[in-house]
Amino acid sequence: MKIRDNENLVVLGIFLALVSLLSALVLAVVSNLTSQPINDAKKAREAAALRQILPEFDNDINAKAVYLKSPAGWRIQVRAARKGKKIVGYAALAVNPSGYAGTVKMLAGVNPDGTIRAILVTEQHETPGLGAELCKRQFSKTIFNLTEPVPAGLPPNKYLDQFNGKKAPAKGWTITKDGGTALYATGATVTSRAIAKSASEIVLAFRRGRKTVNRAFGGVK
């Protein structure tokens, strides 16, 4: 009897197991071959992101990291950027578990005084076209400036830039729909909330954890 017409459950089971095994083997090989390049690519992306949100720095920023506990109980990773001996800013990484579709990772450049300098959303799975737009930084092109060169620096994004340099309220920022002051976008309320929440948690964690930061990095008054 041909294998195509086989209806014996054991044979079918073995066949399926073999196919899965083969597939697992292929995946194992490919995953093994690509893990190093993927890591390198991730590191390069991270380094580029840090250069965008922090002022010019010359230390090895990854050498030391401390973790601050935010009011909501998140662990916020903090690294210090120095130029010479002087601390010029901190890089804070917050992972918000309650995006619209999974986690929203926010990388913020924090000024030595604890206010936000610039925000980047480094990882998100929000709805393309709606929530994802709030997390994007892109220069807007029109048919009139299509041929002009892209200006240097960080492209503006009003939803991410609204917290820059501002003092946060005691309980953090909330969006206007919830009675707060932060901008939100219709159709992407959950994402807007996640962004405001992440920014708040970072600023509030710095306010609370000032001592920890100073102890760790010998920092600023």
Partner 1 sequence: MKKLLETFCKGIWKENPVLVLLLGTCPTLALTTSATNGAGMGLATTFVLTGSNFVISCIAGIVPRKIRIPVYIVVIATFVTVVDLLLQAYAPASLYAALGIFIPLIVVNCIVLGRAEAFASKHNPLLSILDGLGMGLGFTLTLTMLGMIREFCTSGAVFGVKIITAWTTDFLLPGSAPGAFIIVGVILAVRNFLKARAAVKAGKVYVPPAGLDCRHCSICAVGKDDK
Q: Would you tell me which residues interact with partner 1 (CB under 8 A)?
A: 3-7, 11-12, 15-16, 19-20, 23, 26-27, 30-31, 34, 37-38, 41, 44-45, 48, 125, 128-130, 132, 138, 140-144, 146, 186-187
Residue (31 or 176) nearer to partner 1, CB: 31
Q: How far is the CB of 187 from partner 1 (least distance, A)?
A: 5
CB of 204 to partner 1, least distance (A): 30
For partner 1, the closer of residues 192 and 200 by Cβ is 192
Listed residue (130, 142, 114) closest to 200, CA to CA: 114
Closer to partner 1 at the Cβ: 38 or 65? 38
User: CA distances (Å), 59 to each of 64, 65, 112, 197, in order?
Assistant: 11, 13, 16, 30
Q: Answer for the pair 28, 20: CB distance below 8 angstroms, yes or no.
A: no
The minimum distance between CB 29 and partner 1, in angstroms, equals: 9
Q: End-to-end distance of the chain based on CA atoms, in angstroms?
A: 83
Q: Which is nearer to partner 1, 41 or 65 (CB)?
A: 41
Neighbours of 136 (CB within 10 A): 13
Smallest separation (angstroms) from partner 1 to the CB of 56: 22
Closest by alpha carbon to 213, among 52, 89, 40? 89
Indicate the residue among 17 and 65 with the shorter CB distance to partner 1: 17
Q: How far is the CB of 220 from partner 1 (least distance, A)?
A: 33
State the Cα–Cα distance between residues 117 and 87, nearest whole angstrom: 14
Phi-psi region of 157 (alpha: psi -120 to 50; beta: other; left: phi over 0): beta
Token duo for residue 68: 């601050």
Task: Report, in Å, the least distance between residue 119 CB and partner 1.
Answer: 17
Give residue for tokens 């992407």: 188
Q: Which of 81, 188 has the CB closer to partner 1?
A: 188
